[in-house]
Amino acid sequence: MRGAAILMYHGIGAPPRPERTGARYHIAASALTAQLDALGELEAAGRPVIGLERMLAGGDGVVLTFDDGEASCRQAADAIAARGWSATIYVTSGFMDTAGYLTAADVRALAQDGFTIGAHGATHRFLTDIDDRELDGELRGAREVLERAAGVPVLHLALPGGRGDGRVAAAARRAGYASLATSRVGLNPSRTDRFALRRVAVVDDLGLARFAALARGDTRAYARDQLVGGVLDTAKKLLGNRRYEAWRGRALKLLGKS
Residue type, 114: G
pLDDT given for residue 224 in this prediction: 78
Residue 76 · residue 12 · CB < 8 Å: yes
**DSSP state, 101?**
B
pLDDT in tens, 92-102: 999 999 999 99
CATH number for the segment(s) 5-218: 3.20.20.370
pLDDT at 118 over 90: yes
pLDDT given for residue 230 in this prediction: 64
CA 209 – CA 11 distance, rounded (Å): 21
**Collapsed DSSP state (helix, strand, coil) of residue 142:** helix
Residue type, 206: L
Q: Whole-model pTM?
A: 0.89
pLDDT at 157 over 70: yes
CA 92 – CA 95 distance, rounded (Å): 6
CA 213 – CA 223 distance, rounded (Å): 12
CA 209 – CA 196 distance, rounded (Å): 27
pLDDT at 247 over 90: no
pLDDT given for residue 241 in this prediction: 62
Domain ranges of the chain: 5-218
CA 87 – CA 110 distance, rounded (Å): 10
Residue 181 · residue 199 · CB < 8 Å: yes
